[in-house]
Structure 1
């Protein structure tokens, strides 16, 4: 099985010599063969994704949940790469003026996801779309000098701080081999294949990470590709899956299993890990949606108690805004939902009185409020 996944190519000579990996095109040869455990995991992953998709279709305010899921996945995916930011940092209503570089990374991932979801209605999954997503991801943040929106033009490598081509843990394909591998991967994403689409999603993610076509941001783009491919295959209609939580919790195994494919050609052990990640992530998303839905219904009932019809309109607007922005300040909220500052302040006071909102902190004269119960559910697995 040594050459099943690829082989090493010698580059340059003498003191500058190094070996880069050349991945074989997908699908694997010999073909993927799952054992009983693999088939059980495949069935479980499909079942959980189908349950999640059914739930997403039934919930009237799913768009509000999705906006939060996009933010959570962006945060978790960025944390895998070492970004030091919290959910509160990302949701801070003053983040646009106070954002540090870590928060900016996450905000750009959110923008890249939203861009990809819109752009995929105009473009299929392709190298052009991948480059455009990367351009949004890297715009104006660290790494922006590293060719945002362009495939790399130099050799890269993976290793600890200060590592070089001589002691790198992994050296992706050289530039010429990279372009050939990307072209083959783009073709594979659109080819008819007898393999189950969840297995194909595992292979595509592995292959993209192995090619490592950018100087920075490969992991985040590669994880976003998982969601986009599942949507392309009509297994998800919305990005309600945050697989990065599982991958972050099992980060060492995540990288080790991809390394094992390159080392031995054993794709199957990677696919089993990936299917577990999908099943667990979908199951977790279902639990979270159930809890958020119960909280929504409970608080909608509380809102209607001892409130005039006129006031109810403003409170409903504020509550809808709150589910997409569970940390808020009055001025920005008033502007966002199109009401006066005083009306927003009165509505916030009612939500505080009803124990839905809590004052979190005060920055100068600005008071920051949080939807604590909502945030606790979202933080439950972080």
Structure 2
């Protein structure tokens, strides 16, 4: 059965000899066969995605929630790769002066996601789009010397720090096989197929990670590919699913399940893990949207209490702003709202009195405020 997933190819000779993996093109042969448990997981994942889509369609200001979801997914996906950054780091209003290399990685992932969402209106999910996303992801950060926006031209491998081709845990396809495999994957992503789109998404993510076409950034691009393909197949209309939370919590199993496909040809066990990830991630997203929406309703009521009409206009503008920027300082906020510094400061003071904003530590002469109720919900499982 191992040949179902691929085989090893011997490269070079003598002391330099090594074996790389050559993946079989998708779909698998023999075809995917789910157990009763697998079918139940598929149904659960589809049901939860449908509920999530329903919420996204009917909740006002959903784009604000999506904006936060993109940031959380970017952070979690980067943390899987070892990036040391927090949600508060990414939302820091002084990010332009405080950003370190880890935070820059996450900010680039956010930019890559936003770029991909715009670009997909012009391109299908294809190798050109994948390379363009990678170029944005790697721009100006560590790894930028590793051919951003281009498939690798040399052999790579996966292993611990200091590992070599001799002791790597996994050696992806050599450059020639990698290019052939990416062409086959592109064809599969754009082919008509009877398999359920969720199963196809699982297969595509596995295949991309197995091919490992870049020298750096493969995991992050591969996880973004999950969202893009689900949107391409109309299972999601917006990136409201942050699957990286589940994958981070189950990181060892995540890697082990993909390794098991290469080792034994058992795609089904990977697909079941992936379906569980989608089902639980969608259920979690539904819960968080419900909590954020309930918090919003409660705080809108607070804003209207004992507030005159003229003041309410500014307060509502500030409140909408902190839903997109839950950590703020007054100067940038005033500029964003198009009001004077004093007007913004007064509005911040009112939101503090109403228990919506809290003052944080002072950075130099700059006072920082946060929408803690909102952040507490977003920080779940981080």
Same-fold call, TM > 0.5?
Answer: yes
1:323 CA drift (Å): 0.3
Q: 1:34 aligns to what? A: 34
Name 2:174's counterpart in structure 1: 174
> Within the alignment, does 1:323 sit opposite 2:323 as a pair?
yes
Residue in structure 2 matched with residue 163 of structure 1 by the alignment: 163
Counterparts of 2:166 and 2:286, CA distance in 1: 46
* C-alpha separation in 2, matches of 1:265 and 1:89: 41
C-alpha separation between the residues in 1 aligned to 2:145 and 2:69? 29
TM-score (norm 2): 1.00
Question: Does 1:59 pair with 2:65?
Answer: no
Structure 1: runs of 5+ lacking an equivalent: none
> Partner residue of 1:114?
114
Q: Distance in 2 between matches of 1:337 and 1:174?
A: 53
Give the corresponding residue for 1:137: 137
Q: Counterpart of 1:77?
A: 77
Post-superposition offset of 1:340: 1.2
Q: Distance in 2 between matches of 1:190 and 1:176?
A: 22
How many residues are matched? Answer: 382
CA distance in 2, matches of 1:336, 1:216: 36
Report the Cα distance in structure 1 between the residues aligned to 2:243 and 2:309, rounded to whole angstroms: 42
Q: Which residue pairs with 2:151 in the alignment?
A: 151
* CA apart distance, 1:306: 1.1
Measure the CA separation in 2 of the matches of 1:265 and 1:140. 39
The structural deviation recorded for 1:96 is: 1.3
Partner of 2:370: 370
**1:351-370 pair list within 5 angstroms:** 351-370=351-370
Q: Secondary structure at the match of 1:3?
A: helix
CA distance in 2, matches of 1:338, 1:209: 46
Shift of 1:360: 1.1
Deviation track 1:61-111 (CA, whole Å, cap 9, x = no partner) reads 100000000000000000000000001001010111110000000000000
Within 5 Å, which residues of 2 pair with 1:1-382? 1-382=1-382
Q: Distance in 2 between matches of 1:317 and 1:39?
A: 47
Shift of 1:368: 0.4
Take 1:136 and 1:83, find their aligned partners in 2: how far apart are those partners? 17
Deviations 1:320-352 (A, max 9, x none): 010010000000111112111111111100000
SS state at 2:3 partner: coil
SS class of match (1:149) = coil
Provide the C-alpha distance between the structure 2 equivalents of 1:294 and 1:35, rounded to a whole number of angstroms. Answer: 39
Structure 2 regions of 5+ residues with no counterpart?
Answer: none
